[in-house]
Amino acid sequence: MRRTGVVKHATVALWCWLAVATSLAQGFIVDQASGTIGENIQNSVILPGSPTVQSFTPSLSAVGFIQLSTFIQATSSGETVVINLRQDAYNGPIVSSTDPVFLINKGTAISTFLFPGNIPITPNQVYYFEPLVLSGGNWFVGYKPSSYDRGDMYSNGTPSGGFVDLWFQEGIVVPEPGTVGLLFLGTSLFLWYRRVGKKS
C-alpha cells in the first residue's frame, strides 16, 4: 500500500514536471503572418534572379525569426541563404540579418530563419525583409495572392500594389529555460506534493 502511494506521488510529480517543461519550452510567438502552416503554396519567386522584398508592420517591439515557404530542386546540392531586415524602405538600412542557413530540403518546406536574438524594433512601423542567396543555385520562395493588409511584396523595387505577398510568418523567440532550472522546479513540486500527501 505504501509503495503504491509513493508510485502515485511520483507519477503525479512527473506529470507536473512534464507539463511545466512543455509550457516553458522554447518556441515562437507569431506576430505577423500572410498565411498559415499547411497552406498550399503553388507560386514562387526564383532567387537570386529577381530581387524580392516583403514589407510588414509588426505589432510587437522585436523580431526574432522569419519563416518562409521554400523549395529547392532535387538536382541542387543546396543553397546558403540569409534574410536581411531593413527599415525605412525596401532598400533602406539593414537593421539585422539572420544567421546564414544551408538549405537542402529537396521539396517544399517551411524554413525558419533566426536572428542573433530578438531584434528591437518600433511597433506599427513598416519594416522590410529581404531573402538572399549567398551561395548555391536557385532558391524558390513561395508567394500567394494577397491576404495580408499590413505589407506588400516588392519585385525589383516595385510593389505588387496589394496583389501578392510572400508566404511568411514572423515574431519573437521564447527562450528555453535551463535544464537545471527545470529539474529544480520538478524536484520542488515532487517534495511539495509528498508533504501535502503525508498531511492528508
The CATH number of whichever domain residue 58 belongs to comes to 2.60.120
Distance in angstroms (rounded) separating the CA atoms of residues 87 and 126: 7
Assigned domain for 15 exists: no
Quick check: 196 pLDDT over 90? no
Q: What ranges in the chain are assigned the alpha helix state H? A: 2-24, 179-199
Backbone angles phi, psi at 71, to 5 degrees: -145, 140
Q: How many domains does the chain have?
A: 1
Distance in angstroms (rounded) separating the CA atoms of residues 189 and 66: 36
**What residue type is 169 in one-letter code?**
Q
Assigned domain for 77 exists: yes
Task: Give Cβ neighbours of residue 146 (< 8 Å, ≥ 6 apart).
Answer: 34, 152, 153, 160, 162, 163, 164, 165
Tens digit of pLDDT for each residue in 159-184? 999 999 999 999 999 976 654 455 55
Assigned domain for 8 exists: no
What's the pTM? Answer: 0.76
Assigned domain for 1 exists: no
Domain that holds residue 130: 24-199
Tens digit of pLDDT for each residue in 50-67? 899 999 999 999 999 999
